[in-house]
Structure 1
């Protein structure tokens, strides 16, 4: 069993694939290996492990990030159901600034997404009762918490269908143009 890493169009963002050992009992896979992540130059110290349970198909969360010294790396995996997962590059120094990538994560495909500091992360559930597991490199700070509007035309995320459930907070996240005006030091995550 090993972990493999596939680069995305976002520098430092990876699709993480785990090979499962399958027998008559079921399946076993390693979802994180300190040695393999360190060898790839990736984060290996997780300050939080969180879970998001979502009752309904079409629930949209994010895309979220934390600013400044609270900037965080996330390793995201779908433990139940299916999600449409999105990473948006908000690093002004990145050649992919403003770009995004999206992928389906499911309990069946056993893929994870590694979203580096300076990127926003969000998802929409594709099935009822979808559960997402996050390994997060920084402690949550509500004063540093922000995001980018899920339907911002400049970023151009093509969600599979219009969201059915979205929080009031996420409906009112700033647009990408607003984040750009504020500048990296004030609004965007530090690298």
Structure 2
């Protein structure tokens, strides 16, 4: 695996180094020893798989409040998405800054997202599938969200907003009172 730091401290784009032969390819996408070198000591306690049907659809921007903040690792296994994180760590030097990268079945990249980040994505193709690893269990009363089009963050999405869930459309806009989590 190749770990490339993003401009937001603690997050990484992870490239796989597949072994290829006449049968196909094989790659490792998790190794406890390699992740410990990044400072990752959490256990993956939940894994999820999502499918989003339509190009342009948006999911996010989701996070969990303390004490249920979670580390996530996301990989696109079908189609292509523009995956985005926002640093919402209280006191962070990059507070409210965002980073986006393309994750696709073709590039095999993953995004490692530390605690204290909001996460979401936009489908660049139809029929996108993502696999998520989480260090905390989903806790409905601890979930939070930021609007995908919040002007305080100003994410530059590659496509016009498509299908959006009612829940994601109802996320509040940030105010100057928001100090992070």
List per-residue Cα deviations over 1:161-189 (Å, max 9, x = no partner). 11210011111112232xx52544xxx2x
On the 8 A contact 1:20/1:28 being kept in 2, the answer is yes
Partners in 1 of 2:23 and 2:174 — Cα distance?
48
Q: 2-side partners of 1:182 and 1:4: how far apart?
A: 35
Alpha-carbon distance change, 99 to 90 in structure 1, aligned in 2, over 3 angstroms: same
Report Cα offsets for 1:83-142 as digits up to 9, x if no partner.
000000001221000000000000111110011100000001111111000000101110
Q: How does 1:19-34 map to 2 (within 5 A)?
A: 19-34=17-32
In the superposition, the TM-score normalised over structure 2's length comes to 0.96
Count of residue pairs brought into register by the alignment: 181
1:44 and 1:108 map into 2 onto residues whose CA distance is 28
Return the alpha-carbon distance in structure 2 between the equivalents of residues 148 and 44 of structure 1: 25
Alignment partner, residue 172 of structure 2: 174
Tell me the TM-score normalised to structure 1 length: 0.91
In structure 2, what is the equivalent of residue 108 of structure 1?
Answer: 106
Question: Are 1:95 and 2:98 an aligned pair?
Answer: no
Provide, for residues 9-45 of structure 1, a one-character-per-residue CA deviation record: whole Å limited to 9, x for no partner: 1111111111011111111111111110012212441
Partner residue in 1 for 2:60: 62
Determine the structure 2 residue equivalent to 1:48.
Answer: 46
- Partners of 1:43 and 1:165 lie apart in 2 by 36
Task: Give 4+ residue runs of structure 1 displaced > 4 Å after superposition.
Answer: none
Q: Which runs of 5+ in 1 are unaligned?
A: none
In the superposition, relative to structure 1, how do residues 43 and 122 fare at CA in structure 2: closer, same or farther (>3 Å)?
A: farther
Q: Would you say 1:73 and 2:101 are equivalent positions?
A: no
Shift in Å at residue 66 of structure 1?
A: 0.3
The partner residue of 2:11 within 13, 38, 42 is 13
